[in-house]
């Protein structure tokens, strides 16, 4: 009975270490996925951890770290300037569906970097990562597999030293 339905007891120290590790993992995911909207530079993990402590975020051991990280991002938006780093995508769409599809994609695209319309529409743009699945499904269903979607970079961030003027 104990072997089949019993639970393993975890010591206080083990539980504390596990929660601390999850807290660090969540902060790392948030730091990976987010940037400062003004400078487009990533935040450091330590800064995110401090911000999580400031908003008194408590780790839920039964939820995945990724789910909690997305929750933390929503909560941090209220107290600091933070946003998800945009994804850079390239789509190549057949000419006849291109125009019609472009109008449907317009509201989901944040910034259009380049657009080339010859025998097909080729477009490089920045989107919010939350819209990726929606864009992917839209392109698949509208072009019936003829259009292609390519992820150029998962996060668009500024690298290097800050330039002072």
DSSP code per residue over 136-160 = HHHHHHHHTT-SEEEEEES-----S
Q: What is the SS3 assignment for 161?
A: coil
Domains of the chain: 13-83 (1.10.10.900), 86-153 (3.30.70.240)
The overall average pLDDT reported for the chain is 80
Instruction: Answer yes or no: pTM beyond 0.95.
Output: no
pLDDT tens figures, 56-108: 988 898 889 889 888 888 888 888 888 887 788 887 877 777 777 777 777 77
pLDDT tens figures, 12-24: 899 899 999 999 9
Q: What percent of the chain has pLDDT over 90?
A: 8
């Amino acid at each position: 009975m104990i072997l089949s339905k019993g639970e393993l007891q975890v010591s206080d120290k083990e539980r504390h270490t596990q929660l601390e590790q999850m807290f660090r993992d969540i902060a790392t995911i948030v730091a990976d996925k987010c940037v400062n909207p003004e400078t487009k530079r990533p935040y450091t993990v330590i800064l995110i951890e401090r911000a999580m402590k400031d908003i008194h975020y408590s780790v839920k051991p039964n939820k995945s770290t990724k789910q909690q990280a997305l929750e933390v991002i929503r909560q941090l938006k209220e107290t600091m300037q933070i946003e998800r780093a945009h994804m850079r995508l390239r789509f190549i769409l057949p000419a006849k569906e291109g125009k019609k599809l472009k109008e449907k994609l317009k509201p989901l695209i944040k910034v259009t970097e380049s657009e080339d319309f010859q025998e097909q529409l080729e477009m490089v743009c920045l989107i919010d990562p939350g819209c990726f699945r929606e864009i992917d499904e839209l392109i698949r269903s509208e072009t019936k597999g003829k259009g292609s979607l390519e992820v150029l970079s998962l996060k668009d961030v500024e690298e290097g030293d800050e330039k002072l003027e």
